[in-house]
Each structure stands twice: as C-alpha cells, then as structure tokens.
Amino acid sequence: MAILIDRHSRIVVQGLTGSSGRRHGLLCRDYGSQIVAGVTPGKGGTHLDGIPVFDTVAEAVETCHADVSMIFVPPPGAAEAILEASEAGIRLAVCITEGVPVRDMVLVNRALANSSMRLIGPNCPGLITPGQCKVGIMPGDIHQPGSIGVVSRSGTLTYEAVKQLSDAGLGQSTCVGIGGDPIIGTSFIDVLSLFNDDPDTKGVFLIGEIGGTAEEQAAAWIRQHLRKPVAAYIAGMTAPPGKRMGHAGAIISGGSGRAADKIAALRDSGVQIAESPASMALAMQKAFKAAGLSSHDS
C-alpha cells in the first residue's frame, strides 16, 4: 500500500509544453507514471510526444479521466492553476513552482478550505511511491520499494536521506516533499497522519529545517498519536538569527524557528535525531531498535 499516489494515478501536467514541464513530465512517464494529458491554454488539440494537450484542466479530466495534477506553471499564474485544478475535480495537485507570492497562497488556501482537493507544495520536489508512480522532480533511481515513509521540507536533503535508506536496505512506501515556503497546502501532520494509518508503512523519517513552528507541532502530534518508529533530521543548526537559509520559510525571527528548539521538541516526543546529514539511515535503524523492532522487518 502507499499514500496519495500509486500505479493507478492518472496525471495531467499543467504547463506540459514549457521546458520544465516537458522534461519532468516525460521523466515521470519514463518512470512508469501514467501521464495522460497536458494543459497549456492556446495549445489545445496538439500532442507532445504522444501526450494530448488541452486548453483547460476540465477538458483533461473529462476526456482522459485525470485525477492528479503536476503543476509547472510560472509563479504569476501558479495560484490560478491550482484553483483551476480544484474546480475541475482533481483530487491531488502537486505544485512544483518556486516563487509563488505569499499573498497568492493565502488566497489559495482560503479557497481550498472547502475543496476536496489536496495540495502538495508549492516550491516542492513532489512525491513518489517507489516502483509505482512519481509526480515531481526527484531522481527515481535512488528510491526503492519498502515501508519507510519519508516527509520533508527540503528536496535535496530528501534525496540524501532516501539514498542512505535505500543503501541500508530500508525501502520507502511513499516519499513526500511538502515544500519550504511559509504557506503550503499540506503539513507535516497531514502526512504523518496518512503514514500512521497506512498498514504497510512501518516507520517514518522526517526532515525539517529552521523557521516556523511546523516541526514543534509535528512533535506534539507524534507524542500523542504516532504508533510507529520515527527518526528525524533538522537542518540549520549553525544558522545565524535573521538569516534566510535556502527556503522562503527557513528564517529564524522573533526568537522562534531555531533548530535546537525543534530538535528538543522531537526528542521529547521519542523521535530519534540524526546528528548530521551523514547519519540519517543510522538514526532510522536506531529508532527501530529503540522500539524493540528490527529494521529488517521494514
């Protein structure tokens, strides 16, 4: 079992005919994902490497029965693309676009409050269920099917964690990059809840970073609800206050958002902490051991 996507997911790429949409749309198809349609206003009726292109998402849903959207629309139009996907009946939208204005995302989240569509991102690498489906820009070859759920604010660190997990024989159920912007569609807690309910996810690895309080909130939820071994890595231990580190949401301000506070909260909730990026798989193995389980069972 997996969460959010599997081999049956039918994907429309909004922005398929742009350079990034084309490249990653075709890479996802090469991985095995069902890329059933593309959307570029004004290019409806054309095809890209055998993939039909429509003017609207509604047409792609009606004609090709798409239920997942991967969005590569430039920042000024990304919010409108997300809302179009929702209105067309898409169940899951994955917005890869970086630089979406915060004000736009405030309006998007308000509009999606009454929608059945889940949004991943923006400014995220997407998600992958290894061996079944990839919706995003992550390198598929480093992932291996298994039962470790991965959720992360950082794309690059996700790839490092996954490579270590795979090399250690710890395959993944689903890996979700939730994005590093201040306002995103799906939170740590949302994904942790899905992993908690998935019988084939045996353990969880969480990757956080400085800025905001999402990791502290996740720690409190883990303490109360999560019934599986959890390990984590928090990036930004040496970040000076007031400096933004990589992501728009990774900034320490007003005395909050420090890595040390996040690590303390997670430790208090029984999470095994990786002390460096090089020890992420080891931390996951220690989490299993602390729970009296064998990581080989994963």
* φ/ψ (deg, to 5) at 22: -65, -50
The letter for the amino acid at 81 is: A
Q: Tell me which residue of 65, 59, 72, 60 sits closest to 28, measured CA to CA.
A: 72
User: Please, which pLDDT band fits residue 212 given cuts at 50, 70 and 90?
Assistant: confident
Specify the 3-state DSSP secondary structure of 147: strand
Query: For domain 138-297, is the CATH number 3.40.50.261?
Result: yes
Q: What angle do CA 188, 189, 194 make, to 5 degrees?
A: 100
C-alpha 108: how far from chain center: 18
Query: To which H or E segment does residue 109 belong?
Result: helix 102-112
181 Cβ contact partners less than 8 Å away, ≥ 6 residues apart: 100, 102, 105, 121, 122, 123, 247, 248, 249
pLDDT at 250: 47
pLDDT at 287: 98
Domain ranges of the chain: 10-120, 138-297
Q: What is the mean pLDDT of residues 200-219?
A: 94
Within 13 Å of residue 112, how many CA atoms lie on the same side as its CB? 27
Average pLDDT, the chain: 93
- Summarize pLDDT for 141-170 with one digit per residue, the tens: 999 999 999 999 988 899 999 999 999 999
Assess whether the region 10-120 and the region 138-297 belong to the same CATH fold. Answer: yes
Please check the confidence at residue 231 and state whether its pLDDT lies above 60: yes
C-alpha 113: how far from chain center: 19
Please check the confidence at residue 241 and state whether its pLDDT lies above 80: no
- Summarize pLDDT for 244-287 with one digit per residue, the tens: 555 555 454 444 578 889 999 999 999 999 999 999 999 999 99
Q: Which percentage of the chain shows pLDDT scores above 90? A: 85
User: Please, which pLDDT band fits residue 243 given cuts at 50, 70 and 90?
Assistant: low
- Summarize pLDDT for 16-71 with one digit per residue, the tens: 999 999 999 999 999 999 999 999 999 999 999 999 999 999 999 999 999 999 99
CA of 12: how far to CAs of 24, 34, 85, 280, 296, in Å? 12, 9, 10, 34, 37
Contact indicator for 135, 155 with CB cutoff of 8 Å: no
Please check the confidence at residue 237 and state whether its pLDDT lies above 80: no
Contact indicator for 228, 195 with CB cutoff of 8 Å: yes
Contact indicator for 37, 64 with CB cutoff of 8 Å: yes
- The answer, as to whether pTM is greater than 0.85, is yes
Specify the 3-state DSSP secondary structure of 56: coil
Q: Tell me which residue of 110, 98, 112, 148 sits closest to 128, measured CA to CA.
A: 148
pLDDT at 255: 47
- Summarize pLDDT for 247-256 with one digit per residue, the tens: 555 454 444 5
Residue, of 184 and 154, whose pLDDT is higher: 184
- Summarize pLDDT for 87-114 with one digit per residue, the tens: 999 999 999 999 999 999 999 999 999 9
Rounded Cα gap, residues 296 and 288, in angstroms: 9
Q: Which percentage of the chain shows pLDDT scores above 70? A: 92
User: Please, which pLDDT band fits residue 294 given cuts at 50, 70 and 90?
Assistant: confident
Contact indicator for 51, 76 with CB cutoff of 8 Å: no
pLDDT at 239: 59
Q: Which residues are catalytic?
A: 247
Return the CATH number of the domain spanning residue range 10-120.
3.40.50.720
